[in-house]
Amino acid sequence: MDGRYVTSDAHQYLTQRASTIELVVLQVKTSPGYQETVFEKLHFHLPTLLDMSRDEDELGSHTNAKLLERTRRFLRVLEDLASSFPQVRVKVIYASKAAEGPRPNVKAKGDRLRREISKITSDTQATIEYLNAADLRERTARGAKAVAQLVFTETPMSTSLGEGYVCLARLDEYYRFIASDNQALRLEPFESNVRDYAGSTAVNNAIGETLKSGTGEDFWWFNNGVTVVADAAQIAGKKIVIKDPQIVNGLQTSHEVYSFFQAGGHHRDRSLLVKIVVAPENGTARDRIIRATNSQTQLPAGALRATEPIQKDIEESLTHGGGGYYYERRASYYRNLGFPLDQVVSMARLAREFTAFALREPHVALRHSEALLLEDKHYHQIFSSKVDLDLYRLSLDVHTRIRQHLNAYAEDRPLLGETIENWLYPLPQCPPTRSRGCAGPLHVIS
């Protein structure tokens, strides 16, 4: 009602007027396409459930209790606020794993349902929305927008060139900013970072030692600080409220600060430099900020591409689609979470195996370094939205099974060329014949 969710006990607290009342009906199916029968069933049941004069006893004998309660809540609100003549909006969302949109016959059934629902009141607007596999993947990757608050020590500086702030935050306040209510490290602010925590490196050890230092020197003197990209930011008193904060630079510092306080450390009035940039989502500013703020340190080949949409799509497809692969678009992410190393797939490995199998260029896969393989010339041939995501999984499956066969073969006899890699990439290109050189591996693949 007017954008507010009406809970089961809220009807007694409702105002006497409302401009809009909206009902959302969500129909979710795991089928690979849209089906006419879904709308046929909705058309049979929904108008009855949304009828002011419905027979509760008759419906209760064969209708789900929760469904009855939700529709009863809608009808009660509609009746109580009828005197304010609100606009009624009913949205039916049909989600499935379809690769494409609905066929004309399905849309015709949907339009028929829409016309029927529009008769609930004289001012009812009904809509039908279809969500396919690509829509669901995009919404899943987008996630929920978080809002966080950061307490600063002095008034932040800002300029007239775009919206952004530079401030100092006391170390314990920054710890609260990156920690959840149960003191666990929040993961969502680091989603747009190009890599994960690197562990016990010389740089990270130095950051840790600076935090533990007992001198009177402030921490931000010896640290570059962190960069936060956000959808929006607003100063409220001594806090800055940030919508969807993404820490695009300073992940290593953040992990060290978190570990320091987890071990019982104290802030001793020391601060951290924090830069907050409000960048539009639909432009290139975010990616340029990520690249610029991460270019000062050496990163693995392809690391700066980790936030590209195709990389997120591949991670979603491989990691959450079953099959035992964990695609590490961000360096060290799944390793730090403790997943088996043989199931963790790096960007370089996928590029090499896709090049050998799908592009049919085993010589390139074998000879090119990771950096050369992930340069623009080859990268865009491998990682493209035009490629079926299942082809990436197939490339890994083929090489996994060949690798298993070669390892078993090499246990009691030598391999010509000594290394498995000399056979691993050319073998998928063998013609489908039972020639003496290819019959074994091809049998394993099939």
Residue-level pLDDT at 282: 60
Residue 376 gets the label, from left (phi > 0), alpha (psi -120 to 50) or beta, of: alpha
Walking along the chain (446 residues) 10 residues at a time, the average pLDDT comes out as 66 68 93 93 92 89 89 89 88 92 94 93 92 82 77 86 89 95 89 85 93 91 94 90 91 95 93 90 70 64 81 88 85 86 92 93 87 84 92 94 89 77 81 43 41
Cβ-count burial 151-183 (b if 16+ within 10 Å, e if not): bbeeebeeeeeebbbebbbbbbbbbbbbbeeee
Measured CA distances, 104 to 29, 109, 110, 152 (Å): 19, 9, 10, 57
Separation CA 123–CA 81 (nearest Å): 14
3-state class (DSSP) for residue 425: coil
Separation CA 230–CA 277 (nearest Å): 6
Contact between residue 293 and residue 248 where contact means Cβ atoms under 8 Å apart = yes
Residue-level pLDDT at 143: 61
Contacts of residue 405, Cβ cutoff 8 Å, sequence gap at least 6: 440, 441, 444
Separation CA 331–CA 316 (nearest Å): 16
Residue-level pLDDT at 171: 97
Contacts of residue 409, Cβ cutoff 8 Å, sequence gap at least 6: 415, 440
Separation CA 417–CA 179 (nearest Å): 52
Separation CA 39–CA 34 (nearest Å): 10
pTM of the model: 0.60
Residue-level pLDDT at 61: 86
Q: Which residues pair with 169 in a beta bridge?
A: 272
Q: Name the nearest CA neighbour of 253 among 300, 312, 297, 302.
A: 297
- Other Cβ atoms closer than 10 A to 222: 13
Separation CA 125–CA 89 (nearest Å): 5
Separation CA 121–CA 82 (nearest Å): 10
Length of the chain: 446
Task: For residue 307, give both structure tokens.
Answer: 């936030």
Residue-level pLDDT at 205: 94
- Which residue reads 């104290």 in tokens? 266
DSSP conformation class of 143: -
Q: Name the nearest CA neighbour of 374 among 304, 289, 288.
A: 304
